[in-house]
Structure 1
Amino acid sequence: MASTAVGVLALVGACSSDGAGDADESQSGEPSGEITVLTWRTDLVEDGTFDEYVETFKAAYPEVTDVKVEGITDYEGEVRTRMNTSNYGDVLAIPGSVTPDQLGQFFEPLGEFDEMSQEYRWIADKTYEGLSYGIPVVGNVQGIVYNTAVWADAGIEDFPTTPDEFLDDLQTIKDSADGVVPLYTNYKDAWPLSQWDGARGAVTANPDYVNEMTGTDAPWSEDTDSGVIDGLIYDVVAQGLTEADPTTTNWEESKRLLGTGEVATMVLGSWAIPQMQDAAEAAGGSREDIGYMPFPAQVDGTFHAVAGGDYNLGINVNSENKVTARAWIDWFNNESGFSESQVGLSPRVDGEVPEALASFVDEVELITMNPAPEGKESLFADIDTASGIVTTDPKYRQQIVDDARSGDRTKQQVFDDLNEAWASGRADVGA
């Protein structure tokens, strides 16, 4: 299970720069020449959206001759491999498995955190020793995308407030809507299972939850965020409320299935809303059928949801055109209209809440997870890797799905094994 994180750890020293460059000097001047931009949004490359971005950017900076955009399907895997060389574009989304202490070895600092945080939100997790290396392209809230028509037809009017209520609602949908899959796991594509991490901190309204995981040997229990999240995954599968054969799921097809009401619910960040709306419309359905609900947990009668940045754009420390690379990042976040088009929160501190999320935000208290304490920026990642769980790798949740289907391990046995591994990881790193 440790292969994903180890793949990045092995990159240390692969690039010649020490990442200690002066952002003001290396990124100032008049943009010109060409750059290469790597993106995970292959859909926006294929439909011509990025072509429009490039033309608008070049019009703003006439000395820029070209912006080559590479859409990468297996973004995390391919970019991680390319980072063993210096050839990983000029601008790219920082892979999630890059640990804070590795940022300076692969990315150019964009500025001092104290200064940048006056303008941008959610940059703390791509900050190390006071320097920020990435700016998120959009802010997401974390929760559950659902087909409003399916839930309404099942007679469900209110958001479930507990995991048990959520399970009861899914059972009601299964009983009342013939053939509808109550919750789709997207098991085969794997990465969607990592979206459940978005509820960490929301379950107990604790913005320090992830940091506090580093101080306990047993983060998986009935009343912790990790236990509630992974326990719900286990229960929803064990109770037969997901697709019949998770090994045959298909991410692209799942969008249509949700849009047409053949699937009722998927746990995804708010970034998924416009994609589901587009799929619903393309399949002859209504964009209005796509809704968003908070994770089924309340503290003192209030729902909470984690708000945070999506992928952060950074500059390859080896780039030969950092001036134009920085201009692209600034333009993309301030002028492109990307965050608005994605029904997301602006990464800017003064950004507005999009209409599609306004009602959600009215009912839910948003929280932002606190960064790790100074000097412990990599502690969680170190424990996670040493434990062999690697929570950034969806394989451990695929195993939970497998166990729930087969009954080979009970939910408590799953928790016990995870806690044992986590405790071992803490011991290995001396936490």
Structure 2
Amino acid sequence: MRKTATAVLAAVSAGALALTGCSPTQPAAEGPTTITFWHGYTEADGDVLEQIVDDFNASQDAVVVETEVKTWDVIDDTLLPALSAEEGPEIVAMPAERMPVYADKGAFVDLGELYADDENVAEVVPAAVDMVTADGSQFGVPTGFVPLSVFYNRALFDAAGITDFPTTWDEWVDVATKLTFDQNGDGTPEQYGLALPDHATVANGLWPSLFYGGGGDVVAGGEAVIDSPENVATLEYWSSAVATNKISPTGLDGISADELFSSGKAAMHVGGPWMASISEASGIDYGIAAIPAGPEAQASSAIGVAMGITAQADDAQVDGAEAFFSYFFSEDVATEWSLGSGWPPLRGDIPASAVESNPVVASLTEIAETSRPLLPGVTASVDVLSAVDTATQKALAGGDPAALLSEAQAEIEAALAD
């Protein structure tokens, strides 16, 4: 069994110290193990991640982690070709739902022993670990796991005399209707109560969240279940709410919904922690709340990002990368990352009081228990979510929810069978 990451660092560092006492006729030490780390963090979260890497490098002499910042799309497009040419990274971060896809192609090292042996990694929230698990093995460690939540415009709520945030779907639609204004009567509201994307939503997690609330799912036990009666009822409910009450425009994707909210033309929007900085930049006094409960559950699909060790890494690089992961999940560093990135703590033993200095993190931590991993272990996640996208977009445009979910069922079954 491989040594724990802490033990590896201690052993390598001790060896380096011993070599410094060798006579001049003995070969010199080869120097620290160098590890290339690709990631797509570019805002404040990127700054804090770079600081954590710098601090790790300064904390020991055995390993040097060198970061390369790329967009998430570039990472997705170029990782496999780069690994095939042996020019890829030894550590890479990517959206967590993509991790099983690459693990299925043999791109990542199995980290099961790290989870079993390292006391820091062992404290990671189990639901976050589910997102980086495929066929019972862990192929990554999470760098983010956060429930989708509702961002709302306090000024618009105050102007409408609404003092309490809704807690159920019916209350949510009622509040959204009160916040929708068509002042000139032309059928197109100047202000919408809700920006509800019907396709290309935040990590495609919005509609699974609504399906969970209605008692349904997308894939369960490895089988497609998108055409369940519960999901048909959910899609009918929201299609009717949009068509009848005009609470949201149709045809919105995630980016358009962000823009509608940030322009002050929508009172509510479902998103992730980045909406805090978008709202602040737009001068919006915002609040954060859990997605209201559906008839069967209160649940939210969680957005995740994860990092894994690629199959390109040699033994020394694997050991060094695992040492970095152990450092990343040490309690102080994990807290630093949470406060700097705006995501809830990844360790389950970090109390909410430790992050209360960041109101966004504190709010998201309070509702984190509603989180569910999105399509854990499903290697065909892209095709599955594409089928969901097609059904929801066409349903909100006036299509028949039952027929559309039946078509999506067939597409998802075919994707899972490949």
TM value normalised by structure 1: 0.69
1:404 pairs, out of 385, 393, 396, with 396
Deviations 1:49-101 (A, max 9, x none): 44433332322235555512323142564255546624431211255234379
Deviations 1:385-407 (A, max 9, x none): 8xxxx2234x64155324533x3
- Offset at residue 123 of structure 1 (A): 1.4
> 1: distance between equivalents of 2:308 and 2:229?
38
1:262 pairs, out of 265, 268, 273, with 265
2:69 is aligned to: 70
Q: Structure 2 vs 1, CA of residues 233 and 326 (structure 1 numbering), >3 Å: closer, same or farther?
A: farther
SS at match of 1:123: helix
1:120 is aligned to: 124
> 1: distance between equivalents of 2:104 and 2:350?
27
* Contact persistence 1:37–1:92 (CA under 8 A): yes
2:404 pairs, out of 399, 409, 414, with 414
Deviations 1:201-234 (A, max 9, x none): 841578xx56636456x5334524xx45545664
Q: Structure 2 vs 1, CA of residues 266 and 127 (structure 1 numbering), >3 Å: closer, same or farther?
A: same
2:108 is aligned to: 107
Contiguous gaps of at least 5 residues in structure 1? 1-21
1:297 is aligned to: 294
SS at match of 1:183: coil
Q: Structure 2 vs 1, CA of residues 68 and 156 (structure 1 numbering), >3 Å: closer, same or farther?
A: same
- Offset at residue 422 of structure 1 (A): 4.6
1:212 pairs, out of 196, 204, 220, with 220
Q: Structure 2 vs 1, CA of residues 165 and 75 (structure 1 numbering), >3 Å: closer, same or farther?
A: farther
Deviations 1:323-377 (A, max 9, x none): 33223323333316112233433222312234346567768863656998xxxx6
AA in 2 matched with 1:192: V
1:135 aligns with 2:131: no
Aligned residue runs from structure 1 range 249-288, under 5 A: 250=255, 258-259=261-262, 261-268=264-271, 272-273=272-273, 275-286=274-285
SS at match of 1:74: helix
> 1: distance between equivalents of 2:295 and 2:369?
10
AA in 2 matched with 1:24: K
> 2: distance between equivalents of 1:344 and 1:396?
26
1:199 aligns with 2:209: yes
> 2: distance between equivalents of 1:244 and 1:128?
36
2:91 is aligned to: 91
> 2: distance between equivalents of 1:136 and 1:414?
34
Q: Structure 2 vs 1, CA of residues 39 and 346 (structure 1 numbering), >3 Å: closer, same or farther?
A: same
1:366 aligns with 2:374: no
* Contact persistence 1:185–1:192 (CA under 8 A): no
Q: Structure 2 vs 1, CA of residues 119 and 66 (structure 1 numbering), >3 Å: closer, same or farther?
A: closer
> 1: distance between equivalents of 2:411 and 2:327?
44
2:28 is aligned to: none
Q: Structure 2 vs 1, CA of residues 155 and 351 (structure 1 numbering), >3 Å: closer, same or farther?
A: same
2:34 is aligned to: 34
1:323 aligns with 2:345: no
* Contact persistence 1:173–1:180 (CA under 8 A): yes
* Contact persistence 2:293–2:299 (CA under 8 A): no
AA in 2 matched with 1:330: S
2:385 pairs, out of 383, 386, 392, with 392
> 1: distance between equivalents of 2:171 and 2:108?
45
SS at match of 1:108: coil
* Contact persistence 1:256–1:279 (CA under 8 A): no
Equivalences, count: 374
AA in 2 matched with 1:329: F
Higher helix share: 2
Q: Which has the larger radius of gyration?
A: 2
AA in 2 matched with 1:34: T
Deviations 1:232-267 (A, max 9, x none): 6644554543347637x746xx65653563332222
Q: Structure 2 vs 1, CA of residues 54 and 193 (structure 1 numbering), >3 Å: closer, same or farther?
A: closer
AA in 1 matched with 2:195: Y
Aligned residue runs from structure 1 range 310-349, under 5 A: 310-320=304-314, 321-334=317-330, 335=333, 337-349=336-348
* Contact persistence 1:119–1:348 (CA under 8 A): yes
* Contact persistence 2:291–2:300 (CA under 8 A): no
Identity of aligned residues (%): 16
- Offset at residue 318 of structure 1 (A): 0.8
SS at match of 2:385: coil
- Offset at residue 181 of structure 1 (A): 3.5
Q: Structure 2 vs 1, CA of residues 212 and 202 (structure 1 numbering), >3 Å: closer, same or farther?
A: same
Contiguous gaps of at least 5 residues in structure 2? 14-31, 184-188
1:58 aligns with 2:61: no
* Contact persistence 1:123–1:309 (CA under 8 A): no
1:150 is aligned to: 156
AA in 1 matched with 2:52: Y
> 1: distance between equivalents of 2:405 and 2:102?
30
AA in 1 matched with 2:112: G
* Contact persistence 2:83–2:312 (CA under 8 A): no
